[in-house]
């Protein structure tokens, strides 16, 4: 299998991971009014197919002659279980995150959800593999917490003002229900807590001499995504977070573009995931460490927020105080990610 041979290669993989993780959600936005529950079936299929493609190409190449299939045969059942469980937990978190995007937008759901996930994931990963300065990692997490809080305040202020300017229109003489500002925030928070738990399980799946390699982890992980999508969607389709219940047959009413965007979204996410897993596996001078790999990958939050603000205009017409809060939020997020990224340079444990 192909692994990083230098720190520069590791950083390139982490940047690729950041770009993919920061852009895949656009595929959901581009589907228009396509329900997120239906979009997610294609996302899961695309994620699994991309993992298989990476495993049978880059995961089966290299000078060591150790292929993806060799890696799977060598791995222990416990490691397989950890990888599958990681995929199951991530999948529930990601479905809640997509639901939060549908309600509150990318520029709100991702900074809040992924910001919380970053804090939990970095802390747990550091306990498993203490690579990086705990002081810099701690300062980075504090800055990211501040960014999450500022983003939530900005969203509540903006939504409250928009409701004043554009109140809901009564339907058939009935009093319109007041839009729930908190629902999107709650979904993003729950998604973030769950999202922070999957990466340490990936580390457990790779730990020990019979652990899974990064490409094998990707396959087992995305198999967990596909399997649990059918389980979780039974709930989301019958008790939706937005709109009326939807039948499974509605999936077949989607057009080629909508299904294609779902597959592309899953493939983009998996490309970022495999790049991140491979970077975290680097050894020697190329090592960045799992905590730093996870944190830099979550820099995708900034990219997603910029997509939401600049392309999808999710805070269009915001007043000066809201724009100021968003600006400070970006500053804190960048500062937090920067502190986490330089943590290995000041580490006493290498």
Quote the pLDDT of residue 168: 65
Quote the pLDDT of residue 251: 96
List the chain residues with pLDDT less than 70: 63-64, 168-181, 289-298, 344-345, 347-350
Per the structure, the complete domain to which residue 83 belongs is given by: 7-165+179-346
Total domain count, the chain: 1
In a domain? residue 174: no
The phi and psi torsions of 132 (rounded to 5 degrees) equal 115, 155
In a domain? residue 121: yes
Quote the pLDDT of residue 174: 58
In a domain? residue 2: no
Quote the pLDDT of residue 218: 96
65 sits in the region (left: phi over 0; alpha: psi -120 to 50; else beta) called left
In a domain? residue 47: yes
Distance CA 43, CA 26 (A): 12
Q: How far from 50 is each of 16, 232, 243, 312, CA to CA, in Å? A: 15, 22, 31, 27
In a domain? residue 171: no
Distance CA 84, CA 231 (A): 14
In a domain? residue 72: yes
What three-state secondary structure class fits 153? Answer: helix
Tell me the whole-structure pTM to 2 decimals: 0.89
């Amino acid at each position: 299998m192909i692994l990083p041979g230098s720190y520069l290669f590791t950083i390139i993989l982490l940047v690729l991971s950041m770009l993919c993780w920061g852009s895949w959600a656009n595929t959901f936005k581009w589907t228009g009014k396509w329900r997120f529950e239906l979009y997610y079936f294609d996302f899961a299929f695309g994620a699994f197919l991309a993992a298989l493609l990476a495993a049978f190409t880059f995961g089966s190449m290299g000078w060591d002659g150790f292929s993806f299939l060799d890696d799977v045969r060598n791995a222990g059942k416990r490691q397989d279980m950890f990888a599958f469980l990681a995929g199951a937990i991530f999948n529930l978190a990601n479905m809640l995150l997509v639901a939060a995007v549908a309600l509150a937008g990318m520029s709100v759901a991702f900074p809040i959800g992924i910001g919380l996930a970053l804090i939990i994931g970095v802390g747990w990963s550091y306990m498993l593999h203490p690579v990086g300065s705990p002081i810099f990692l701690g300062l980075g997490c504090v800055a990211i917490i501040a960014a999450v809080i500022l983003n939530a305040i900005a969203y509540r202020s903006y939504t409250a003002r928009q409701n004043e300017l554009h109140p809901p229109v009564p339907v058939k003489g009935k009093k319109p229900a007041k839009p729930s500002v908190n629902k999107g925030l709650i979904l993003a928070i729950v998604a973030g807590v769950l999202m922070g738990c999957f990466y340490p399980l990936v580390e457990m799946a790779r730990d020990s001499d019979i652990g899974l390699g990064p490409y094998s982890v990707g396959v087992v992980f995305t198999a967990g995504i596909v399997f649990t999508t059918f389980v979780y969607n039974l709930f989301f389709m019958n008790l939706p977070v937005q709109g009326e219940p939807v039948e499974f047959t509605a999936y077949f009413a989607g057009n080629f573009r909508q299904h294609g965007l779902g597959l592309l979204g899953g493939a983009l996410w998996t490309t970022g995931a495999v790049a991140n897993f491979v970077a975290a596996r680097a050894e020697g001078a190329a090592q960045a460490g799992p905590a730093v790999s996870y944190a830099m990958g979550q820099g995708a939050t900034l990219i997603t927020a910029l997509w939401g603000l600049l392309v999808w205009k999710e805070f269009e017409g915001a007043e000066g105080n809201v724009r100021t809060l968003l600006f400070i939020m970006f500053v804190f997020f960048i500062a937090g990610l920067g502190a986490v990224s330089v943590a290995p340079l000041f580490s006493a444990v290498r």
